[in-house]
Structure 1
Amino acid sequence: MTIADIRKTLEQKSARSIESFKAELQKIRTGRAHPGILDQVQVEYYGSMVPISQVANVSLLDARTISVQPWEKGLGPKIEKAIRESDLGLNPAAQGDLLRVPMPPLTEERRKDLTKVVRAAGEDARVAVRNLRRDANDQAKKLLKDKLIGEDDEKRSLEEVQRLTDGTIAEIDRLVKAKEADILAV
C-alpha cells in the first residue's frame, strides 16, 4: 500500500459516508412530500417483502401529496396497509387504483424533535469520518514503521488526510444545516 492508495481509499469511503448520510436525511420527513420517504416501506409481494417502489409507481401529485399507483390490481390494499403500519405517521387514502398519501403538517414540537434527530445523524456521520481518518493515519504510520516511506512523506500524508477529513466534515455540517432549515421552515 502506498500513500496514494491510502488517500484514494479515504476519498472513496468518505464519499460513501456522505451518500449514506444523504440517504439517511431523506428518510427524515419534513412537511413537504418526497417520494423517497416511502423507500424503506416494504410490502408483501408473492411471499417476499419488497420496497413499494418495486411494485408501484411513486410520484408527487403536489407539494404535500404523494401518489402511489400499484402495477397490479390486488396490491392497493396491501400497499395502503404497509404505509399505515410504517412508523412514518402517514394515512393513505384510496381512490380506485390510486393511493393518495397526504403529508400532515408538522407541529412545532415535532419540528424540534426532528432537528435533534438530524443533529444526531450528523454526529454519527462525523464519527464515521473520524474513524476513517484514524484508519488512514494508522496505515501511514505503519508504512513509516515498516520503513516504506520517510518521516516527511508520513507528515505530508497525515496533513492530507486531515485536510480531506475537514472537507468531508464541512460537507456533513452543510447538509445538517440545510436539513434543519428545511424542517424549521413553515
Structure 2
Amino acid sequence: MTNGANFNDIQRRMDGAVAAFKSDLASLRTGRASANLLDPITVSAYGTTMPIAQVATVSVPEPRMISVSVWDKQMVGAVDRAIRESNLGFNPIMDGTTLRIPLPELNEQRRKELVKKAHEYAENARVAARHVRRDGMDHLKKAEKDGDISEDDHRKQSERVQKMTDDTISTIDSLLAGKEAEIMHV
C-alpha cells in the first residue's frame, strides 16, 4: 500500500463539502434573525461584486431585526438594491447610512420554500462528496493499472473511500434534518 489513495486529502475535501453546506445552512432563515442571513448577498461596488460584509457591518440588535451599517454613504443605494433583489424576501428601511431589515413571521409557504432551498444545498454537498469519491477511485484505478498497488489493496482502499463517502453523506443528511426541523418549528 505504498501508492494508494491519499486518505487525508480525501477526508479534508469531504470535510470541506460539509463545511460549505453548514455555511449555506447558516444563511437560511429560521424564526430568529442572524447576521449570516445576508452572507449570500453580493453588492456591485467600485466596479466589482463583493460580499455585503466587505462594504458594511451586519449586526442583529433585536431578535427580529437585522441592521446593516454601510461604511460609504454612496454605497447605501447599491446595498439596498442588492438586498431587495436577493430573493430572500427582505424589505430594508433606509435610515441614513444604516439599513434596518425587519423580519416578519415566516408563513407556511415561505417555510416550505426554505426547506426546499435547504434540500438544494444538501444535494450540492452530496454531489461534492461524490466528486471527491470519484477522484479517489480514479486515483486507485490508475495506481492499480500502473502496478503501484495490488488488486486486493485496490479493493480494500476502494471500500475505505466508499465508507468515508457514506459517512460524509450521512452527516449531510443529519444536518439537513436538523435544519428542516428548525425551519418548520412554529
TM class by shorter chain equals 0.7 to 0.9
Q: Following the alignment from structure 1 to structure 2, what is the Cα–Cα distance between the partners of residues 74 and 64? A: 27
Contact 1:31–1:104 (8 Å) recurs in 2: no
Structure 1 residue 170, shift from structure 2 partner? 1.4
Q: What is the total number of aligned residue pairs between the two structures?
A: 185
Structure 1: 5+ residue runs without aligned partners? none
Q: Deviations over 1:83-108 (max 9, x none)?
A: 22321110111234322111122111
- Correspondences of 1:106-185 after superposition (within 5 Å): 106-185=106-185
The residue aligned with 1:21 is 21
Shift of the 13–85 alpha-carbon distance from structure 1 to 2, 3 Å rule, reads same
| TM-score normalised by length of structure 1 | 0.87
Q: Following the alignment from structure 2 to structure 1, what is the Cα–Cα distance between the partners of residues 157 and 183? A: 39
Shift of the 127–46 alpha-carbon distance from structure 1 to 2, 3 Å rule, reads closer
The residue aligned with 2:32 is 32
- Correspondences of 1:75-114 after superposition (within 5 Å): 75-114=75-114
The reply on whether 1:2 has 2:3 as its aligned counterpart is: yes
**More relative contact order, 1 or 2 (CA 8 Å, 6+ apart):** 2
Shift of the 134–76 alpha-carbon distance from structure 1 to 2, 3 Å rule, reads closer
Shift of the 80–117 alpha-carbon distance from structure 1 to 2, 3 Å rule, reads closer
Contact 2:13–2:132 (8 Å) recurs in 1: yes
| TM-score normalised by length of structure 2 | 0.87
CA RMSD across the alignment: 2.1
Contact 2:29–2:37 (8 Å) recurs in 1: yes
Shift of the 123–147 alpha-carbon distance from structure 1 to 2, 3 Å rule, reads same
Shift of the 128–77 alpha-carbon distance from structure 1 to 2, 3 Å rule, reads closer
Counterpart residue type for residue 12 of structure 2: Q
Structure 1 residue 81, shift from structure 2 partner? 2.8
